[in-house]
Amino acid sequence: MPAAPPTPSREIADLLALMAALRDPETGCPWDVAQDFASIAPYTIEEAHEVADAIRRGDLVDLRDELGDLLLQVVFHARMAEEAGHFAFPDIVEAITAKLIRRHPHVFGPAGADRARNPGLVKELWEAIKAEERAEKARARAAAGMPEPARSLLDGLPPTLPALARAVKLQEKAGAVGFDWKDPHAVLAKLREEIDETAAALAAGNRAEIAEEIGDMLFVIANLARHAGIDPDSALEGTNAKFRRRFAHVEARLAAEGRTPADASLAEMDAYWNEARARDKTDGARG
């Protein structure tokens, strides 16, 4: 007789045991057993995006489930690492708790209580501690006979970071040493300059120049969002959702007439689009 199925649990130990069972070479799930770090990595990224999407939508029911999915990714990676003899889930917990304690001496240390009330000083302290952590890693590599890679202030960003988020991180790193605009209006002036350069590239018809100028323009837009305290990815997602909502109104109005967008003129679709835009404004949505 097969064993009774496990029951849902609130304990992390039970989740770890479930993953171990799924990865069992003899009795586990063939798909789970076949996975490795590289094959699971895209799912990890996807789950992180789904967490962010649930937050953006304000859906706390979805957020609970998506955070569970993201936690499963950590447990999956931890199980594979444990099987290979590298580290286990408790090592991950120890590493992050050690980092949090190390990076918050203003909270957990005997001195520096005033810093906890000054975000600017806390950020300075954080950067100094991260610099010491990088130095410690360099010493560890040297002790192991590993070559130290060439370093730049702009290193350390994950290659899978979305382009707009990467732009903001690069700008923040450069800004930490003073290479930054001090006024968002100066960034806006730079954006106007980039728009003019993009127009010139379009007039010249050089695709390489057009791509470069559009990239410059997007980089400055990300910088403008940063100076305004806005996350550009979230702002763009909000606009994406708004576009979908308004275009759905266009489709619905045409469907009521027995037509599709392919059957309508641009002027007709524009008219229905403006209806949706006016409805958004009436509902209090930003237009």
Extract the tokens encoding 56: 């953006």
User: Is residue 155 a part of any domain in this protein?
Assistant: no
Higher pLDDT: 122 or 221? It is 221
User: Is residue 180 a part of any domain in this protein?
Assistant: yes
Query: Distance between CA 40 and CA 22 in Å, rounded?
Result: 14
Question: CB–CB of 164/222 below 8 Å?
Answer: yes
* Residues 13 and 83 occupy one common structural domain: yes
Least confident of 7-11, 175-179, 241-245: 175-179
**Residue where a domain stops, chosen among 64, 81, 101:** 101
User: Is residue 140 a part of any domain in this protein?
Assistant: yes
CA dihedral defined by 71, 77, 80, 82, rounded to 10 degrees?
A: -80
User: Is residue 158 a part of any domain in this protein?
Assistant: no
* Residues 7 and 90 occupy one common structural domain: yes
pLDDT of 111 over the 60 cut: no
> Does the pTM exceed 0.85?
no
At 1 the pLDDT is: 46
At 128 the pLDDT is: 78
* Residues 126 and 218 occupy one common structural domain: no
Extract the tokens encoding 18: 């479930």
User: Is residue 157 a part of any domain in this protein?
Assistant: no
Amino acid at 158: P
Mean local confidence (pLDDT), 154-162: 77
Sequence-ordered list of residues with C-beta below 8 angstroms from that of 263, at least 6 positions apart, any chain: 254
- Per residue in 185-239, pLDDT tens? 999 999 999 999 999 999 999 999 999 999 999 999 999 999 999 999 889 988 9
CATH number, domain at 36? 1.10.287.1080
Mean local confidence (pLDDT), 41-55: 90
Query: Distance between CA 197 and CA 277 in Å, rounded?
Result: 31
At 285 the pLDDT is: 45
Q: How many structural domains is the chain composed of?
A: 4
User: Is residue 176 a part of any domain in this protein?
Assistant: yes
Spell out the alpha helix ranges (H) of the chain: 12-22, 30-34, 37-57, 60-83, 89-103, 105-108, 119-143, 163-175, 184-204, 207-227, 232-256, 266-282
At 144 the pLDDT is: 74
- Per residue in 250-265, pLDDT tens? 999 999 999 999 999 9
Query: Distance between CA 132 and CA 129 in Å, rounded?
Result: 5
- Per residue in 8-18, pLDDT tens? 899 999 999 99
Domain limits for position 220: 163-230
The number of CA neighbours under 13 Å toward the Cβ of 16 is 12
At 2 the pLDDT is: 57
* Residues 211 and 256 occupy one common structural domain: no
